[in-house]
């Protein structure tokens, strides 16, 4: 089982680190982190599977 830091999880999801925490808080189906001491770590495969079902929003040319 591969565990990722929040920074690595954010890179896989294509979002910033803060958004990973928002996803965990606001989406019931988002994979929850494991706690190793004070550090939160994320399982890689569930994150990838979640992203497939929840594609990142694409920014259009008119978005600022």
Q: What is the pTM of this model?
A: 0.81
* Confidence at residue 64, expressed as pLDDT on a 0 to 100 scale: 46
d(CA 56, CA 51): 7
* Confidence at residue 55, expressed as pLDDT on a 0 to 100 scale: 79
* Confidence at residue 28, expressed as pLDDT on a 0 to 100 scale: 94
Strand partners, 43: 3
Do 4 and 12 contact (CB within 8 A), yes or no? Answer: yes
* Confidence at residue 60, expressed as pLDDT on a 0 to 100 scale: 55
Residues of the chain with pLDDT below 70 are 58-64
Q: Where are the domains of the chain?
A: 3-53
d(CA 7, CA 20): 9
* Confidence at residue 23, expressed as pLDDT on a 0 to 100 scale: 95
Helices (H) and strands (E) in the chain, counts: 3, 3
């Amino acid at each position: 089982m591969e565990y990722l830091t929040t920074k690595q999880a954010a890179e896989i999801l294509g979002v910033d680190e803060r958004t990973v925490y928002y996803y965990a808080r606001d989406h019931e189906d988002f994979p929850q982190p494991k706690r190793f001491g004070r550090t939160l770590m994320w399982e890689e495969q569930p994150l990838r599977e979640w992203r497939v079902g929840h594609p990142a929003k694409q920014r259009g040319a008119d978005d600022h």
